[in-house]
């Protein structure tokens, strides 16, 4: 992991940066994806060398960049509502590229790495006190699908009704949407004693992430010969993933955010990327 994972991430994002540049002709995407890829590579390298705070640092670096610079300053709606907006406009830029790379095609390679290292909602939620879930997982996952449909219908309705000033509406949707996400995420974390409750039950982006993450090339695996079945990895996993099973059908397997908590807490070094 110490060399392979960071190097793989860097190579992937260099390729993506220049591919998108050649497609769009916009050199912004070179700087954008090189920054994100390098940040991710550094974060994974820090984690693999025992710096537990490495992931939080990278979450803040990438999250603040996307939220403040691209979103608030650049007036780009990077939420799922923005994805539908630009997609309906037929524009291959902004949120469409972001979703394609981070949340639709990208997870075939790096799973839900976005959730663990780049999400600006999670960068705040992961600072809350319940890093390890204190209660069993709830059966509230259906909420994400309801919210997904509501957002799709909202954006579709704006186009069907030919509402004016759509760009401005999308900008304010981005602001209001993030406020709601933070408020709901923080409340759920304290009520359910689980920092990642919002990710498990509410986040509509996981509708895209879960199917492709099933096939992820970058994933945590267990060396069954080394494993002593202490289950410490399962107890410390913020997403309740069964890390004792290498099958892609393992319990909550598509929920792994590559945070490496299981790897760090394994006393016999039986887990690795």
pLDDT digits (tens, 9 = 90+) for 249-269: 888 888 999 888 888 888 888
Asked if residue 200 belongs to a domain, the reply is yes
Whole-model pTM: value is: 0.88
- Given this model, what pLDDT does residue 3 score? 61
State the Cα–Cα distance between residues 58 and 61, nearest whole angstrom: 5
Number of domains in the chain: 1
Per residue in 236-246, pLDDT tens?
899 999 888 88
Q: Which two tokens stand for residue 235?
A: 């107890």
223 has a pLDDT exceeding 80? yes
Per residue in 129-171, pLDDT tens?
999 998 888 888 899 999 999 999 999 999 999 999 999 999 9
Task: Identify which of 151-160, 212-221, 224-233 has the greatest average pLDDT.
Answer: 151-160
Domain range for 185: 4-213
174 has a pLDDT exceeding 70? yes
From 51, 63, 196, select the one nearest 117 (Cα to Cα).
Answer: 63
Per residue in 19-74, pLDDT tens?
888 988 888 889 988 998 888 888 778 877 777 788 888 899 999 999 999 999 99
Asked if residue 272 belongs to a domain, the reply is no
Asked if residue 220 belongs to a domain, the reply is no
Asked if residue 228 belongs to a domain, the reply is no
Asked if residue 244 belongs to a domain, the reply is no
Each residue of 182-199: b (16+ CB within 10 Å) or e?
eebbbebbeebebbbbbb
Asked if residue 242 belongs to a domain, the reply is no
Asked if residue 218 belongs to a domain, the reply is no
Asked if residue 223 belongs to a domain, the reply is no
């Amino acid at each position: 992991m110490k060399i392979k994972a960071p190097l793989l991430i860097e190579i992937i994002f260099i390729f993506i940066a220049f591919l998108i540049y050649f497609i769009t002709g916009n050199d912004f995407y070179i700087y954008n994806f090189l920054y994100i890829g390098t940040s991710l590579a550094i974060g994974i390298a820090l984690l693999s060398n025992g710096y537990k705070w490495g992931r939080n640092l990278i979450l803040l670096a990438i999250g603040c960049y996307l939220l403040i610079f691209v979103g608030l300053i650049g007036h780009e709606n990077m939420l799922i509502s923005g994805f539908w907006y630009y997609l309906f406009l037929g524009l291959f830029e902004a949120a469409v590229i972001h979703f394609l790379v981070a949340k639709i095609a990208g997870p075939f390679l790096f799973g839900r790495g976005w959730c663990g290292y780049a999400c600006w909602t999670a960068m705040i939620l992961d600072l809350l006190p319940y890093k390890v879930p204190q209660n069993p997982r709830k059966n509230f996952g259906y909420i994400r699908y309801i919210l997904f449909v509501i957002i799709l219908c909202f954006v579709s309705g704006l186009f069907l009704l030919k509402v004016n000033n759509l760009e401005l509406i999308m900008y304010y949707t981005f602001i209001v949407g993030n406020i709601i996400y933070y408020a709901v995420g923080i409340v759920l974390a304290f009520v359910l004693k689980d920092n990642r409750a919002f990710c498990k039950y509410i986040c509509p982006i996981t509708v895209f992430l879960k199917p492709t993450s099933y096939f992820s090339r970058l994933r945590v695996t267990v060396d069954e010969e080394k494993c002593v079945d202490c289950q410490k990895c399962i107890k410390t996993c913020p997403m309740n993933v069964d890390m004792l099973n290498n099958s892609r059908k393992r319990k909550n397997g598509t929920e792994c955010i590559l945070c490496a908590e299981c790897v760090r807490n394994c006393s016999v070094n039986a887990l690795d990327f």
